[in-house]
Every structure is written in C-alpha cells, then in structure tokens.
Structure 1
Amino acid sequence: MTPPRDINEALRGWRLHSLAAGHSARTITSREYTLRRLAQDVDPLTATHDDLVEWLAGLTDHRTGKPVTKSSRATYRAQVRAFYAWMHASGRREDDPAAGLPQNRIPRAHPRPLSRQEVDRLLDACSSSRAAQTRAYVLLACYEGLRVHEIAKVRGEDFHGDVLRVQGKGGLDATLPVHPKVAELAATMPQRGWWFPSPLGAKLPHVHRVSVGQAITRALDRAGIPGTPHACRHFYGTQVLAKSGGNLRVTQRAMRHADIRTTTIYTLVADEDVQHAVTSI
C-alpha cells in the first residue's frame, strides 16, 4: 500500500474503513476532528511516538485554556491509537507510533443528578413561549434519559403508541416506555419528520447536538442550578434505580448501557444521604 500523500487522503481511507466497520457517523466525525486537531501541531503522517506523547501531554480545552480532563485525554489517546493501528495494519505506514502511549487512570465516575426540585425549577425556567423547544429538550433528557445527540435526532416516527425508539451510541437501536410527561409533549409535536429541524436545511436536517446542550445549559443558568445537561440524564438514571427498588438490570435497560458496570455508578450515594441514614437510626 502506498503511503497517503496528505492527511486528507489518509482520512478518506480511514472514513471508508470506519464505515465498513459499522461505526456511527458521530464516531467517525469525532475521530476525524481529533486527527485534524493533531494536524494543527504535528504532521500525523510523519509523527513519532515522542511527538504524540508531547501532544497528548499538552492538550488544552479550547474554551478555557486549561488542561483537558482525564476522560477527554483518554478519548483522544484511544482515537489516535485506532488511527495509527489502521495505518500500520493497512500498510500505509511501516511503524505504529501510537503503540505504548501512556494511559490515564480515570477516577470512577460519580453521577451528579439533578434533584426533583431542581428539575421543576429547570422546567419553570423554560416556561415562556420562546423557550418551548428548550423545555422539550429538558423533558426528553429528564424523563426518557436521552443524550443531547439523541434529542437532536428525535422524529415523530420514533413514537409508536407508548414506546419510543431511540438510536443511541454506536447507532444501536433501543426502545423505551414513553413517560406521561413526554406523551403530553408528543401530542403537541409533529407526527412525522424531525421534531427539531435545523435552519441549515439539507446540510444538517436536524438541530446540532451542541445547540441542544447549549440551550439546556442556558436554562440551567437561568434556574441558578450548577451542572451540565448530562445531569438531566443522571436524574433519570437515579430515579429509575430508586423506583425499581435498586434493580440494576432494569436500570441498565432503561439507561441503555452496554455494560452493567457503567450502571453501577448510580448505586453511589451522596454524603448527605449517608448522614441522613445514620442519624435516622
């Protein structure tokens, strides 16, 4: 295999490989973004192991200028490793400079769910007609546990009676029971087509996931609630766990986790809950 002439040619080949492997468009786009970010600092086609180590060590958040989180660094590392493994295996490069890149020890995630009172305040912050679309985002996140990229792609055809079909991570389809609050919302939304069409039209038929996240973040700010849009999904997860009597399998199914070990983070309890339990003895 002849080495690619430039990064664009390399990424075209990798995109085809990823499509053939069944990766989702979101995964492919994320991987391409990482390689183009790498290309801003070092030529990916000639990068050495030391170049990649230095690049990973110096990664910063574009918005804050601070070092990226451990989980973000781990994602960048995984995507770079996948690219160079493909380059080496396909004969486009004789070596694999990403082999043996330092690993991050990522601390166990701790859910930071909204409380029921905070969800009510968040919905109150979306009570005006101008915030009707944001309110719909919040309902889907809090009462169906949808991620921001899943909310962006909701269509009328996804609802079948009391069942919602969701295309989640990796393009995997799943079904969820429709919460009564979401059923009320669905009655006011289009029965066919995108619920949240994009003004960009054919270029992007539905709103971008970033727009969904930003809208929820602004609503959280208006409500005076610290947190991120994902806290809405954490609210859903902790409520399902509590209402199911601590049944991890039920919660795994509702959260659509491939690995039940991911679901176990919802069994972690806050310090104030421990204090309440002890003082109530």
Structure 2
Amino acid sequence: MQGQGLSARTITERIRVIRQITAATGTDPAALTPQTISTWLATLPSAATKNAYFTVLRAWSTWLVQSDHRVDDPTTRVPRPRTPAGHPRPVTDTQLDAVLALPLRQDTRTKIILGAWAGMRVHEIAKIRGEDISPVAGTITITGKGGRTDTLPAHQLILQQACYYPRRGLWFPSPRDPSAPVQAKTVSRVISDAFDRADAPATAHQLRHYFATSLLRAGTDSRVVQSLMRHESLATTGRYLAVDTDQQRTALSALVPTPNATQRRVDASPSRKSE
C-alpha cells in the first residue's frame, strides 16, 4: 500500500478494516467470498460505513488479484452499498460566536479557528507545524488526504494565531511523545467539548462545512470554494454548501427578464376546435 502512495492514516484504516472482517467472520482475508462480504456488511451500523468498508474490501481484493494471491475479485459480485446523499451541516454564526466567547485554552481556540477559517480536517489540524504558516507570504500549507499538499492563502485570523506558536515544529505535540502530533480524535473531542460547554452542540467537521458555506454566502464562486476546500471534485464540495432561502431569492432576482417576457401578448383569435 505504501507503494501506491497512500498516507499512513489510510493504510492504518485499511488494515483495521481487514482485521475487523477477519475477526468477525473467522475467514482468511485472502479467501473472502461474496456471501461472506455481503453478510458482514449487513451487520454494519450505517450506509456510509458500509460503503466506506466496501471500498476498502474492493481495494484489498484488487491487490490480491494483481499480486497473484487469488484469481478472482469477490467484490465484483457484491453490490456496492448505496449511500444516501449527505446534507450540509455547518455550525451557525451564533454557535461559533458562543464557543469563541468562552475563556478557552489557546490551543483549543486555535484548533477551532483552523477548522472554521481554513476548513481543515481534524487530522490536518493535529499535524500542523510552524513551517506550514508563512506570515510574510500570507499562506498556509496543508497536507491532507492521500498525502496531497496544498499551499493556499491564509485568513488573517490564522496568521494572527501563529504568534502564539513556534516558527518550527508541531503546534500541537502529543503530551506523551512531544515528537509526535496529538491524535486526530483528540482534536475532535476537544472541539466538540468546547461547543458543549457553550451549550451549542456541534462537531469539529461541522466547522469545515461552515468554512465552505460562509465562502459561498460571501459571494465566492463555487470553483474557488472547491480549491480552498482542496476537493478533486466540485460535486464533493457541493455536499458542504448550505444554501438558504435568502440566497435563492437573491439569485432569482438577478435573472433579468427578456423584453417580451414582461409584455402581456394574448392571441385573441378564436381557438381551433379539434376535428
């Protein structure tokens, strides 16, 4: 998997899924059958989880075939679990302002700001380093899914946070091992706990939805939003963009009628009766 250029996080997750199906079914992972896969997927809690785990099993089976460990791919005879379309779930301005009004620890405040004003995922926040921020150039460098690295303009709020952290090295080192970053799940918990204390329950990932939605509401072109979200597909970005009724009305009011659309021209001739 390392030869495919996959990130350590992706590799770890795929190994976990393969071990999980092995333990649950008592089947050699190199000898999975379509029936075994279908039965196991049916035990999973949600459509999204089923779809994600199916993707892992498809990648695993493809590798087995390509490596001559088996001659067939069992997942080709298993229907891909359908995933219902996701809906944007941004935090509201009120929720965000409520949590930032709390006397937060500096690290907690910065993590929230990175999520809301850079759209960073929790594992990206966990790994951020001083070298990733350039106050002079006004940029932030983010290494995200699949090891993809993007250098983008940084919001002023993020550049201001840099003064509280070292110019080099991790911003959020693990308390157990200062040479390693905190875990992504720790970042997620810290952020959600802060929202709970503000009596405004929300998740860390909803900050990423907020980032995309706020850009759209500010009049940003959706393809610019896509680039700032670091998505390969505009369709993926669309799942983060919440559109309200006011935006819809504004969009409709911008449609200029053609000259004849505003004129009432009625054909007064007798209607023809069908023969």
Using the TM superposition, give the Cα deviation of residue 265 of structure 1 relative to its aligned residue in structure 2, in angstroms: 3.0
Equivalent runs, 1:133-144 vs 2, <5 Å: 133-144=107-118
The 10-residue stretch of structure 1 (137-146 or 170-179) with the greater mean CA deviation from structure 2? 170-179
1:197 pairs with one of 164, 168, 173: 173
Tell me if 1:48 matches 2:33.
yes
Aligned to 1:38: 21
Which string of whole-angstrom CA distances, capped at 9 and with x for unpartnered residues, describes residues 172-214 of structure 1?
1112222121122111111110000112327x71101111011
> 2:123 corresponds to which letter in structure 1?
H
2:124: which partner in 1? 150
TM-score by length of 1: 0.82
Q: Secondary structure at the match of 1:41?
A: helix
What is aligned with 2:54?
Answer: 77
Q: Which letter maps to 1:248?
A: S
Percent sequence identity over aligned pairs: 37
Shift of 1:75: 0.6
User: Does structure 1 retain, via aligned residues, the 8 Å contact 2:119–2:207?
Assistant: yes
Deviation at 1:275, TM superposition (A): 9.3
TM normalised by structure 2 equals 0.84
Report what 1:206 is aligned to: 181
Could you list the per-position Cα deviations for residues 81-106 of structure 1 after superposition, in whole angstroms to 9, with x for gaps in the alignment?
11011112211123322222222222
Separation in 2, partners of 1:200, 1:99: 44
Q: Decide which moves more: 154-163 or 38-47.
A: 38-47
Q: Distance in 1 between matches of 2:226 and 2:250?
A: 27
CA distance in 1, matches of 2:150, 2:251: 36
Any conservation in 2 of the 1:241–1:248 contact (CA below 8 Å)? yes
Q: C-alpha distance in 2, partners of 1:96/1:272?
A: 50
1:94-151 deviations in whole A, cap 9, x for unaligned?
A: 33222222222222221111122211112223x24xx322111101101111100000
What's the offset of the Cα at 1:70? 1.4
The structure 1 segments of at least 4 consecutive aligned residues displaced by more than 4 Å after TM superposition are 270-278
CA shift, 1:271, in A, is 6.3
Decide whether aligned partners of structure 1 residues 272 and 106 sit closer, same or farther in structure 2, where only a CA change above 3 A counts: farther
Q: Which runs of 5+ in 1 are unaligned?
A: 1-17, 60-66
AA at the equivalent of 1:51: T
User: Considering only aligned residues, what root-mean-square deviation do their CA atoms show, in Å?
Assistant: 2.2
Q: Which amino acid aligns with 2:67?
A: S
Aligned partners of 1:188, 1:138: CA distance in 2, in Å? 15
Aligned counterparts of 1:124 and 1:176: Cα–Cα separation in 2: 28
Residue by residue, what CA displacement relative to the aligned partner does 1:52-91 show, whole Å, maximum 9, x if unpaired? 11100012xxxxxxx2x21221010010111011112211
Q: CA separation in 2, counterparts of 1:270 and 1:242?
A: 9
| Cα offset, 1:270, TM superposition | 4.2
Evaluate the alpha carbon distance shift between residue 38 and residue 271 of structure 1 in structure 2; reply closer, same or farther with a 3 A threshold.
farther
Could you tell me which runs of 5 or more consecutive residues in structure 2 were left unpaired when the two chains were aligned: 253-275
Separation in 2, partners of 1:209, 1:102: 32
The yes-or-no answer on 1:123 pairing with 2:100 is yes
Change over 3 Å in CA distance of 1:95–1:277 after alignment to 2: closer
Using the alignment, how far apart are the partners of 1:259 and 1:276 within structure 2? Answer: 26
1:216 aligns with 2:191: yes
1:107 to 84, 93, 104: 84
Amino acid at match of 1:147: R
The count of aligned residue pairs is 248
